Structure 1
Amino acid sequence: MIEEATVDAYTEDEQSTGLFTLLEEHPASPFTTAVPGVEAIVRGIDLAPDGRIVAMCTGGRVRRSVGILELSLPSPAPEGAEWIEAYRHWAG
């Protein structure tokens, strides 16, 4: 999966963008998870200005972004979550 996402990507930024693109194409959202202090619904993903891939979450009236690396996945994991795991593996 990582190889598919990073083909022709030579820098870390290009590889991250390739993984982000496939995360967008194979969405795992929406799904419910726990974000510190609140149950939240992951509505989608985005690329933060600093280059991190983040999950866009809502919980009640609160909206926040949580780094994909810090996001806990529910059990069973939603369809498409394998791309989140591939990104985590790539990120080390």
Structure 2
Amino acid sequence: MAPDIPDDRLDELIAEATLDAYDEDEQRAAFAAVLQDNLQVPFETTVLGVRVRVTGVTDSPGTGIAAICRGGKHRQLIGILDLPLPEPPPAGAEWIAAYRRWGG
């Protein structure tokens, strides 16, 4: 579940993340960097009934900002906005909420 954060706080996070970014691509890359720096990994969650360990965040062509998920021998990228968060969410999850608001 996503953390319940007031809109004004999300707007502050968006402004902080995108301060020096001038177009949409730079802003997305800035959010990727902020998530890499602030989302506490690793953490475990469940994706389609399978327990996975989120080990990081990446920004890749075609996927956009994605969580790096590992389950057993398998590794898969899952869009950060599609990732179900555990309860309680990991530290830094407010940045995912800010990214969701930014992407509208």
Asked if TM exceeds 0.5, the reply is yes
Normalised by the size of structure 1, how large is the TM-score? 0.91
Question: What's 1:3 paired with?
Answer: 15
Identity in percent: 49
**How high is the TM-score relative to the length of structure 2?**
0.82
CA gap 1:36/1:86 in 2 versus in 1, 3 angstroms: same
Q: CA deviation at 1:50?
A: 2.7
Q: 2:61 aligns with which of 27, 49, 61?
A: 49
Q: Relative to structure 2, which stretch is displaced further, 8-17 or 66-75?
A: 8-17
Show the counterpart of 2:39.
27
Count of residues in Structure 1 that have an aligned counterpart in Structure 2: 92
Q: Which residue of 1 aligns with 2:89?
A: 77
Q: 2:30 aligns with which of 18, 42, 55?
A: 18
Paired residue type of 1:33: T
Structure with greater contact order relative to length (CA < 8 Å, sep ≥ 6): 2
Gaps of 5+ in 2: 1-12
Deviation above 3 Å: which 4+ runs of structure 1? none
Structure 1: tracts of 5 or more residues without a match: none
Equivalent in the alignment of 1:62: 74
Compute the displacement of 1:86 (Å).
1.1
The alignment yields a C-alpha RMSD, in angstroms, of: 1.3
